Copies of this chain bind each other. A is one copy, B any other.
Amino acid sequence: MIGKTRGQGVEILDDIRALPPAHAEGRRGRRGTGKVRITDVAKLAGVAPITVSRVLNAPDSVAAETSRRVREAINRTGYVPNMLAGGLASSRSHLIAALVPTIASPVFQATWEALTETFSGAGYHVTFGQTGYGGAREDELINTMIARRPDGIVLTGIMHSPSGRRRLIEADIPVVETWDLTPTPIDMLVGFSHEHIGEAVAEYLHGKKRIRIAVITAADERARRRAKGLAAAATRLGIANTLAPAVPMFVAAAPGTLGSGRKGLTDLLARHPGIDAVVCSSDMLALGVMIEAQARGIPVPERIAVVGYGDLNFAADTVPALTTVNVDGPAIGRLAARCIIDRAQGRSVAEPIVDVGFSIVKRASA
């Protein structure tokens, strides 16, 4: 074995600088991309392809000097691994599918940002599928997402459709449902109880001696459940029954806007002039209510208390400052990502079902 310095018959081509590699011309035009492949790097470094793979994916299993040579070859060739090939061979795509109503919802934004960031730090990319409010295209999207063989799927809310549930379970991909609670999650869960929020807000306003509470809500399933929780608590506390049979409600199109907040207050005032508190399904609606109240000369909170939801970055700076419900959106994103990353790395997930809770942020408006 003269001329070989290492074990198993690998040619060493130490000082060749081939950039682009010599064979590239021959390959281009038929199939393939004409790009540098792992074998090109391996030849230049004088190792087997699998060793290059290990340098990239399991650095601890390669000797320091070998690793150095391989890295140098990677730099010289400008090699960028092909994750399609890697994913196919290893059944690990390092891709995450997130199903969201729309990426343009201010309430969820901080969550998706944190989710993307946490996954990114662990070598994953996130692709978003928009289901639309109401989740119309959820089932269809699940199919096209599964086609990518993602290492995890993050859902907004609970998956209700039985066919969607079945598909997800059969696909055998880790799933995290978020932003809601259920005793029967598909797999993992990071959320909180919308009913409890409604109840807590009712109790808070009851404590503030408000007796005629109204609700302005976007046509969104979870917002409606908060309103239902509020109405139930109001009845229990004897609020709703004082004058009216139920909590007056104004339903606006999702997502809630400042304009629908204004319209909501106008409508409620016309129908129920005596209301002394308005609970909104988003801070934007609440801001609209406060602006409309100001335009009408109605003092907030003196005559009408206003409560928002989301604790968006403007809530502390409105006049008066907005009392609202804070949910730790970034924490939901981080925890959801952690669940999937832990599972992917074979670790057992410490808490597969997490209730992150919520808090009422007491400011001036209520």
Alpha-carbon distance between A342 and B294 when the two chains are bound, in angstroms: 51
A344 contacts the other chain (CB 8 A)? no
Residues of chain B within 8 A of A113, CB atoms compared: 102-104, 130
Interface pair A130/B120, CB less than 8 Å apart: yes
Determine the interface band of chain A, counting residues with CB < 8 A from chain B: 35 or more
Report yes or no: A88 in contact with B84, Cβ–Cβ below 8 A: yes
Q: Which residue of chain B is the closest to A114 with respect to CB atoms? A: B104
Residue among B110, B123, B171, B291 making CB contact with A317, cutoff 8 Å: B291
Q: Which residues of B contact A81 (CB under 8 A)?
A: 147
Q: Which A residues contact B (CB, under 8 angstroms)?
A: 31-33, 78, 80-85, 87-88, 91, 93, 95, 102-104, 106, 109-110, 112-113, 116-117, 120, 123, 125-130, 143-149, 170-172, 257-259, 262, 284, 287-288, 291, 294-295, 313-314, 316-319
The answer to whether B262 and A291 touch across the interface, beta carbons within 8 angstroms, is no
> Within the complex, which residue of B125, B149, B316, B317 is in contact with A82, where a contact is CB–CB below 8 Å?
B149
For A319, give its contact among B106, B112, B172, B295 (CB under 8 Å): B295
Cβ-defined contact, A125 with B130, below 8 A: no
Closest to A125 in B: B127
Once the chains bind, are B117 and A112 in contact (CB under 8 Å)?
A: no
**Contact partner, A80, options B85, B91, B147, Cβ 8 Å:** B147
